[in-house]
Structure 1
Amino acid sequence: MSEFIGSVWWLIVSLGVLVTFHEFGHYWVARRAGVKVLRFSVGFGKPLWLRRGADGTEYAVAAIPLGGYVKMLDEREGDVAPAEVGQAFNRQSVWKRIAIVAAGPVANLLLCVALFWLMFVIGRPDYAPVVGQAEGIAAEAGLRRGDTLLAIGDRETPTWSEAQLALIPAALDHADVAVHVRTAEGMERTRTLALSRLPAAFDERRAVDAIGLLPRHLLVPPVVGSVSEGLPAWGVLAENDRITAIDGTAVNDWTEIGPLVQQLGQRGVPVMVEVQRGDERLALELTPGRVTPASGEPYWALGVAAARPAEPAKDALLQYGPAAAVPAALRETAHQARELIAMIGRAFSGRVSVENTVAGPITIARAANAYAHHGAAWYLSMLAMLSLSLGILNLLPIPVLDGGHLLYYLIELVKGSPVSDRTMAVGQYVGLALIAGLMGLAFYNDILNNLVR
């Protein structure tokens, strides 16, 4: 229940901030363009709070916190007193109308820059981009345990999250990418990940796994969590024993134990298992046993399970000084905008599944709650991305969105007269149908990804 309440709370906070800034952009430019604003509302439906300002504008917080609006004086929506005709939106020049409509998305882009700047100044704790295990394509490229990923393509990767965000688009595009690394020995090298060899269809949510990379911080330490009665390790190994070597081969993480046991089990002879038990180092003799599961192939086993590892401490910090954070925030906003536009293109072209592209309120709420629990900098980064997404999506040329209105005004500039009321009415119906379909897809994805899986 606490997770549910937290998710709802952070969803309301996030949408409240983003919608307020978006609508304030419309409001601010409209007032300076000489347009009378009748109502500035955060949320839809019945107002929970309403106050009339000295300028005659009603300021409201409404019951449904999934959007907002700025209602301006407009002859198309009601009678306008002769003395106020000059303040009606529809009487403004096309350039003023363009400025007013574009101001909402622009406000979200500016907010994105400000949030990224604040995130960089605070500093976002993360994990170092160190390879813990390389298999498949990653191993074939020459990546090895202990390599530090310095840059992927032309993007520097000071943390693992940055490396992950750089790898995913390349994987989705099946594009080979250069990886600049510092090896465990301290030498800098460039490797090429042949991502063009990825399967045509793979789990897009696990793109880094498909490449064969496991970061160091996700390695499971070779510490015994439990011992199964009746199997070889029973009475020999104990909980909290740290396995350091098997038959002379050093063990660094839990995933190395299984393959070693399979190889040695075929001998049918005892092997030496070296463990650290408290302050003692012990060499214990064990013979792997053959286990036949109810379903699946038989395998060799010692009869131990890994201890549940604690969350590793963050060992990297993405941070800049206040001055250096300004260009960093601008670069990050531009980069993420390009990536978002590219992702929209992939979705329309069918190169990525829409179920992993369009997120609904449940997914956003859970993400907001999770990021908030990781700290202020992480939450700010998520809020910046949401603000950017809201700004760019609102610029899509879909009627009822800001981008649809801008399209009408561009047509007006070309033809020299406004788009007809009939055309605008048809566009509104088409736009509402598209938005309804998009919302339906978002809710479907929410149910599929959060409730079914």
Structure 2
Amino acid sequence: MMGLLWNLGAFLLALGILIAVHEFGHFWVARRCGVFVEKFSIGFGKSLWRKVGKDGTEYTIAMIPLGGYVKMLDERVEAVPAERRHMAFNNKKLWQRSAIVAAGPIANFLFAIFAYWIVFLVGLPAVKPVIGEVAPQSIAAEAGIVPGMELKSISGLKTADWESVNMAMISHIGDESMSLTARDPQSGMIVDRTLDLAHWSFDPESERVLTTLGITPFYPKFTLIISQLVEDGAAIRAGLRLNDKIVAVDDQPVTTWQQVVDSVRSHPEQALTITVKRGEETVSLPLTPAAKTLDNGEVIGYAGFASARDPWPEANLIHLQYGPIEPSAKRQSALGSW
């Protein structure tokens, strides 16, 4: 419940900021063009706070935070005294009216760029690009890439996180080879490796660049403790609870989450006995996984539960920060060439 309220509060705060920026764009340009603004409102409905400024504009925060508006002097809405007609929106030149209308969206666009820049300037949590697995006989395996290696650079470009690794690798589509440096997990030395891309096949729309090269990033292992349950799923109907630790399936001890997954997937609509540790007691429960049909037509079992991962090792965590100029380059890299 607290999580829901927190998310709702964060959503309303973000929405309020976007609305304020949007309406301020209209307001600021209108004032620059000599249009009198009667009211600047964030939200609709009953006013929660209001103040009339020295400029004669009424500033308001209203009860319903799902929009806002800037009310400008306009002869099409109400009669305007002759001495104030020069401040009416409808009496301004076409380019001025167009600028006022366009100012809201433009303000939001500029604010998005500024916010993105601030995020990278302050810094982002990330994980080092440490390799978890290498597929046998893959391009990476043939180049001498091994599990545990930390990728340091690709073709001279530093790779601090997996995002930069992906961007650097994608840039080599169509090339004959790709050079990289990595930290060897055994010696700790920086080593050079060259990947032969002559027979590399990669479809960006349906494949991941790392997978096609035979690389799987390192992730902490899944525990055997249930951390999520799907409402009205087979697991809940069987009586499983959050924080139950699975210790056996059909009286066969399990030591990895993958063993649990394989057992459930291979038994659609077939009864299983799940043994869990619940506090100090051991409980055996009958679980019948539901049948789920994949896109390829395969039918698998689905229980409606998930486990938590072990914490990330501290050595794998980094905090990425960029200088005042670097965030702009980072943003352009993420969005693509302009």
Q: TM-score range by the shorter chain?
A: 0.5 to 0.7
Taking a change above 3 Å as real, the CA distance of residues 311 and 79 of structure 1, as seen in their structure-2 partners, is farther
Instruction: Measure, in 1, the Cα distance between the counterparts of 2:57 and 2:104.
Output: 18
1:103 is aligned to 2:123: no
Indicate the residue corresponding to 1:196 in structure 2: 202
Indicate the residue corresponding to 2:279 in structure 1: none
Structure 1 counterpart SS, 2:99: helix
Instruction: Measure, in 1, the Cα distance between the counterparts of 2:142 and 2:107.
Output: 43
CA deviation after TM superposition for structure 1 residue 6, in Å: 0.7
CA deviation after TM superposition for structure 1 residue 196, in Å: 3.3
Identity of aligned residues (%): 33
Taking a change above 3 Å as real, the CA distance of residues 330 and 308 of structure 1, as seen in their structure-2 partners, is closer
CA deviation after TM superposition for structure 1 residue 20, in Å: 1.2
Indicate the residue corresponding to 1:187 in structure 2: 191
Say if 2:43 and 2:67, in contact at 8 Å, map to a contact too: yes
Say if 2:180 and 2:193, in contact at 8 Å, map to a contact too: yes
Say if 1:146 and 1:183, in contact at 8 Å, map to a contact too: no
TM-score of the pair, normalised by structure 2: 0.60
Indicate the residue corresponding to 2:23 in structure 1: 23
Q: Cα deviation per residue 1:158-208 (whole Å; 9 max; x = unaligned)?
A: 2235556x499x69xxx668876423432344645956346x757xxxx57
Structure 1 counterpart SS, 2:4: helix
Q: Cα deviation per residue 1:75-114 (whole Å; 9 max; x = unaligned)?
A: 3333322222211223223333343334333333433343
Indicate the residue corresponding to 2:321 in structure 1: 319
What amino acid does structure 2 have at the position aligned with 1:31?
Answer: R
TM-score of the pair, normalised by structure 1: 0.47
Higher helix share: 1
Higher strand share: 2
Higher relative contact order, structure no. (Cα contacts within 8 Å, ≥ 6 residues apart) = 1
Instruction: Measure, in 2, the Cα distance between the counterparts of 1:62 and 1:128.
Output: 46
Say if 2:42 and 2:62, in contact at 8 Å, map to a contact too: yes
Instruction: Measure, in 1, the Cα distance between the counterparts of 2:89 and 2:69.
Output: 15
Instruction: Measure, in 2, the Cα distance between the counterparts of 1:154 and 1:41.
Output: 52
Q: What aligned pairs does 1:72-111 form with structure 2 within 5 A after superposition?
A: 72-111=72-111
Instruction: Measure, in 2, the Cα distance between the counterparts of 1:46 and 1:307.
Output: 46
1:228 is aligned to 2:255: no
What amino acid does structure 1 have at the position aligned with 2:100?
Answer: I
Measured on the aligned residues, the alpha-carbon RMSD in Å equals: 4.7
Q: What aligned pairs does 1:334-413 form with structure 2 within 5 A after superposition?
A: 334-336=332-334, 338=336
Taking a change above 3 Å as real, the CA distance of residues 89 and 128 of structure 1, as seen in their structure-2 partners, is same
Indicate the residue corresponding to 1:160 in structure 2: 162
CA deviation after TM superposition for structure 1 residue 215, in Å: 2.3
1:330 is aligned to 2:328: yes
Instruction: Measure, in 2, the Cα distance between the counterparts of 1:229 and 1:254.
Output: 11
What 5-or-longer segments of structure 1 have no aligned partner?
240-252, 260-292, 297-305, 342-453
Instruction: Measure, in 2, the Cα distance between the counterparts of 1:308 and 1:337.
Output: 31
Q: Cα deviation per residue 1:321-346 (whole Å; 9 max; x = unaligned)?
A: xxx22x2232344445558x9xxxxx
Structure 1 counterpart SS, 2:79: coil
Taking a change above 3 Å as real, the CA distance of residues 194 and 228 of structure 1, as seen in their structure-2 partners, is same
What amino acid does structure 2 have at the position aligned with 1:309?
Answer: D
Instruction: Measure, in 1, the Cα distance between the counterparts of 2:61 and 2:7.
Output: 20
CA deviation after TM superposition for structure 1 residue 4, in Å: 0.9
Taking a change above 3 Å as real, the CA distance of residues 308 and 35 of structure 1, as seen in their structure-2 partners, is closer
Q: Which moved further from structure 2: 81-90 or 71-80? A: 71-80
Taking a change above 3 Å as real, the CA distance of residues 116 and 308 of structure 1, as seen in their structure-2 partners, is closer
1:70 is aligned to 2:70: yes
Instruction: Measure, in 2, the Cα distance between the counterparts of 1:307 and 1:57.
Output: 54
Q: What aligned pairs does 1:236-275 form with structure 2 within 5 A after superposition?
A: none
CA deviation after TM superposition for structure 1 residue 129, in Å: 2.0
Say if 2:49 and 2:62, in contact at 8 Å, map to a contact too: yes
Say if 2:126 and 2:319, in contact at 8 Å, map to a contact too: yes
CA deviation after TM superposition for structure 1 residue 134, in Å: 4.0
What amino acid does structure 2 have at the position aligned with 1:318?
Answer: L
Instruction: Measure, in 2, the Cα distance between the counterparts of 1:318 and 1:115.
Output: 16
CA deviation after TM superposition for structure 1 residue 29, in Å: 2.0
What amino acid does structure 1 have at the position aligned with 2:57?
Answer: T
CA deviation after TM superposition for structure 1 residue 8, in Å: 0.4
Say if 1:219 and 1:254, in contact at 8 Å, map to a contact too: no
Say if 2:183 and 2:191, in contact at 8 Å, map to a contact too: yes
Indicate the residue corresponding to 1:215 in structure 2: 217
Say if 1:23 and 1:69, in contact at 8 Å, map to a contact too: yes
Say if 2:220 and 2:311, in contact at 8 Å, map to a contact too: no
What amino acid does structure 1 have at the position aligned with 2:34?
Answer: G
Instruction: Measure, in 2, the Cα distance between the counterparts of 1:154 and 1:95.
Output: 49
Taking a change above 3 Å as real, the CA distance of residues 4 and 294 of structure 1, as seen in their structure-2 partners, is closer
What amino acid does structure 2 have at the position aligned with 1:93?
Answer: K
What 5-or-longer segments of structure 2 have no aligned partner?
185-189, 226-244, 263-287, 292-306
What amino acid does structure 2 have at the position aligned with 1:75?
Answer: E
Indicate the residue corresponding to 2:311 in structure 1: 310
Instruction: Measure, in 1, the Cα distance between the counterparts of 2:36 and 2:7.
Output: 37
